[in-house]
Structure 1
Amino acid sequence: MIPLGLKETKEVSFMEPFSDFILEHYSEDSNVYEDAIADITDTRQAAKTPTRDGQGVALLFRYYNLLYYVERRFFPPDRSLGVYFEWYDSLTGVPSCQRTVAFEKACILFNLAAIYTQIGARQDRSSEKGLDAAVDNFLRAAGVFKHIYDTFTNAPSMDLKPQVLEVLVALMLAQARECLYEKLLLQLEEMTNVDCSSLHRNLSGEATQLTREYQEIHRIIQSNEAHTYLPECWAGLVPLKSEHYRALAHYHTAKSIDAALHSFKATSTPSKGKPQPKGFGGSTQTLTRDTFIYDESSLEGDLNPAMLK
């Protein structure tokens, strides 16, 4: 599975610009709000290096919600407070700096999605519980990336560009489907002495869909400038996964047919004491292993069907 690294940022102090704005715009004593401003600053400082677990997710959500109120009260569109948010691209390491809270919110959301990918990638996929958790986290990551894609425009950094976000959304959805495929494999391992043809058909269908999804991801990567910024290993791993699941689709299709044939033979074998089916002449007919069944209309005209037996 492919997890994502987090964006890094420099420290920002809200105390002086917010205090001045409270005094000038609201005509109130800013000392009353020092603790609240310090809490916002401390929360952002903690959000720089969140833990890669549920607590880190909760911290980023808390800071993101704080930004909603901060933007409404301290960042008027016609005035600059002199607060600049500088973040480093998670893919290239190139710094980008903007004074808009929208950029800060997009970066926080990106890190939130990245944590989801890391949580999902480290789940124990040998158990059904671990696979369910992995699916949940990869889908959450895809949802957050899609939200950034839909709401954030004019991205200054490459990892927030629409063409990159499109790849990330598709990649997370594909990895979630991989976990569903592996969950079906667990069910297959638990089935013994039963007809597995239907489960193999489902596995073949999932593998076929994964082949198509990874083919589409590879097409997206190659069709725009995203391939120049994404890690080189992705460019090789994505088409490799496509071919891998193509082979698995053929494998499970063959296993499905084989299981169905075994099931058919088991149910069609006559029991002892029961009469054998008779042919047109009333005599018992037996199909031997070398019996050849053909359709004469599908054969070439110059071929003798008897020669094919």
Structure 2
Amino acid sequence: MLSIPLKKSDPVDLYRPLRYLVARKYSESDAQSVESILETLNKCRSDMVGRGDLSLPMQRDCLIHYFKCLCMVDPLFTAISSDSHSDPIVFVWYDAFYSEHENGVSSQRNSIQLEKAAVLFNLGAIYSQIGASCDRTTALGRHLAMDAFNAAAKFFSELWKVFAKDISATLDLTLLFTETLHHLFSAQASELKLQQQLHDNNNAARSALQQHIIAVSFKSRAYDLILSDSAATEHVFSFDRTWITHCYQKMKFFRVEACQRRSSILPKSQLPKTSSLVQSCPLDHDAESVTEKLVSGSCSRADLSIPKVDGIDLDLILSEYSPFKIMEGGKLVANPWDMPPPYPTNFSILSPPSPSSSSSSSSSLILAFPFKKSEPLDFYESLRNYFVLKYSESMAERVEGLLQMLNKLRGEMLRDDLSLPMRRDCLIRYLKCLCMIEPLFPMTTSPNPPIFIWYDAFNPQQDSSQHNIHLEKASVLFNLGALSTHIALSCDLTNTFGQRMAIDALNDASHWFLKLTHEAEKTSATIDLSISCVQMLREILTAQIAELECKFPGSRYISFSAASPVLNLSRRALHRLWSMKSKTRRFKFTCIDVSHKFLRGYCEAQSLLSEGCLPPCLDLLSEAGPVMIKDGNLVANL
């Protein structure tokens, strides 16, 4: 498997000229409100350029943090290029493969596009090195390597299709070279998927043949691109002549294999078409180890525990685990990329208005849903005994940390004395842990399987008692939705910030209840978890969001320009008329100051990185995560 080196760069001070620009163009108070972001931006770049002692996962974390900061300060570079009073920022980057070459240095003034392109290249390079360093003799190692090569391919795809078009740079950042690297790492991911299928003695011949064809297609494309350009061929020869030989030999091998499989496995009419997309291969259900089984659960349902909220993300305000924060007064804070969570959070930003305040009538627009209650449960003993009986004592010890965390989180999430933000963090982390252990259920061989007992949120006299883990997950999703409505109720609706936060919280609640509809199909429980009840709650939320949008027209939003739709939505919710097809509307806010521009940049960075570029499985390699893979064991940060 091939991996590529990182691009190198000369140091540059970003803090001083950018802070000076903000203070002069906006105000000193604006400069103070984003000072932490600028300091973190400078530290990330310094560590990215100068620290050679970082592990591959830590280099990845640093680059991701830096890329988010870069996207946040993007508007400043538009301003600084036309500002005669500001000192120019000169970015110097060297060709990753051959920096001594006469065309091996790229230097541009104030070009944040060059900086972004170089960072994306290095993210692709880091993922290629992570993939090559994985132990591919195990199913878990192959899965991690496959995800890493897929991530590398997607970063080079972004470079090729978006970022490399508008910069004058070294050969490694040209359209031809970035497209070549995209195809190369897609081919390596495809190889590993094929290897996994053959290792599992997979009888799906159609799928195996498809992988052969994909591997040939991608390797051939990468090979042809290099040979089609004399400068690119000369460039490859200058750093490693074996690259072209490597691609040619593998392409030849896979072509022969594909021909053999095509002739011996399937009739011509059933041959699959060549696909240009390589998807990650899930770990086999009968995993080789407990760690692999738990990781497969985490990866397969990663989308379940990720809130999708447009506008200002609640995590930036409420979560102890978000590295970027919005503090009281709109000040932006960036926690160091290399400081493990939890981070200090100012929870005073949520303060329920008093009944006598002028906002009490506004707060009456919001209906907070009650929480589901549950009986205490000792998760640790039942799960550990299961591992000992089904596997071995040593296997149980390998996941000891995860089981302890799972047990602690379940107890904490039922506490009524936690603040709303802390309870939200606890529920989300517990949901992620539940996704990890889901492949273990049903625990048919366990002498004492865990029994989940949950009470109806609206009628506590009714309860449901099951061994079904989907009851547990559905109940946690319900409480996340209910908690978001309590957050919305606690917002001060007399100011724009509180209005926006309340609407985001209700959108967050709608997201969790949407996820609940999929989970509720897998369990028969109390009425509050039924599909019809969850749909009714989502319609109530939609009506409340619409009402808030009409009540506070100062912000620019889409649709709902009159009060009549609110009345219609409320009637539909009350009468459970499920014919409504419209989706929850999202706010779109005008950027009124530098902080808002920074937040818009952050959202754009999140969107780009979340679209397949950051596989959840590889987050388990991060040294700053709550659960990580270390020496084949799952280690938990309690």
TM over 0.5: yes
Correspondence for 2:217:
212
Correspondence for 1:71:
74
Of residues 217, 242, 248, the one that matches 1:239 is 248
SS at match of 1:139: helix
Deviations 1:74-101 (A, max 9, x none): 5414236311111111022122111211
Alignment partner of 1:89 is 2:89: no
1:49-64 alignment, distance < 5 Å: 49=51, 51-64=54-67
Report the AA paired with residue 53 of structure 1: L
1:169-180 alignment, distance < 5 Å: 169-180=182-193
Q: Which has the higher helix share?
A: 1
How far the C-alpha of 1:103 sits from its partner, in A, is 0.7
Say which one has the larger Rg: 1
Deviations 1:226-285 (A, max 9, x none): 22222322111111111222343456578869xxxxxxxxxxxxxxxxxxxxxxxxxxxx
Deviations 1:3-32 (A, max 9, x none): 110001111112432343244323427995
Distance 2:256 2:142 in 1: 22
Q: 1:10 touches 1:86 (CA, 8 Å); kept in 2?
A: yes
Structure 1: which 5+ residue stretches go unaligned?
192-197, 258-309
Q: 1:110 touches 1:144 (CA, 8 Å); kept in 2?
A: yes
Alignment partner of 1:148 is 2:159: yes
Distance 2:22 2:225 in 1: 48
Q: 1:75 touches 1:81 (CA, 8 Å); kept in 2?
A: no
Q: 1:117 touches 1:141 (CA, 8 Å); kept in 2?
A: yes
Deviations 1:110-162 (A, max 9, x none): 10111111111111111211111111111111111111112122331111100
How far the C-alpha of 1:203 sits from its partner, in A, is 3.9
How far the C-alpha of 1:187 sits from its partner, in A, is 1.3
Correspondence for 1:228:
234
Distance 2:157 2:40 in 1: 30
Q: 1:201 touches 1:253 (CA, 8 Å); kept in 2?
A: no
Deviations 1:52-84 (A, max 9, x none): 533322211111111122221354142363111
Distance 1:62 1:81 in 2: 25
Distance 1:2 1:233 in 2: 10
Could you say if the C-alpha distance between residues 20 and 97 of structure 1 is closer, same or farther in structure 2, counting changes exceeding 3 Å? same
Distance 2:23 2:64 in 1: 29
SS at match of 1:9: coil
Question: What is the count of residue pairs matched by the alignment?
Answer: 249
Q: 2:22 touches 2:31 (CA, 8 Å); kept in 1?
A: no
Could you say if the C-alpha distance between residues 23 and 227 of structure 1 is closer, same or farther in structure 2, counting changes exceeding 3 Å? same
Correspondence for 2:7:
7
Could you say if the C-alpha distance between residues 31 and 176 of structure 1 is closer, same or farther in structure 2, counting changes exceeding 3 Å? closer
SS at match of 1:6: coil
Correspondence for 1:101:
112
Report the AA paired with residue 21 of structure 2: F
Report the AA paired with residue 89 of structure 1: D
User: Which segment is superposed worse, 102-111 or 246-255?
Assistant: 246-255
Alignment partner of 1:125 is 2:126: no
Report the AA paired with residue 56 of structure 1: Q
Structure 2: which 5+ residue stretches go unaligned?
267-638
Correspondence for 2:194:
181
Distance 2:172 2:148 in 1: 20
Report the AA paired with residue 45 of structure 1: S
Distance 2:129 2:243 in 1: 16
Percent identity between the two aligned chains: 26
Q: 2:10 touches 2:92 (CA, 8 Å); kept in 1?
A: yes
- Give the structure, 1 or 2, with the largest relative contact order (CA under 8 Å, sep 6 or more): 2
- Give TM-score, length-normalised by structure 2: 0.36
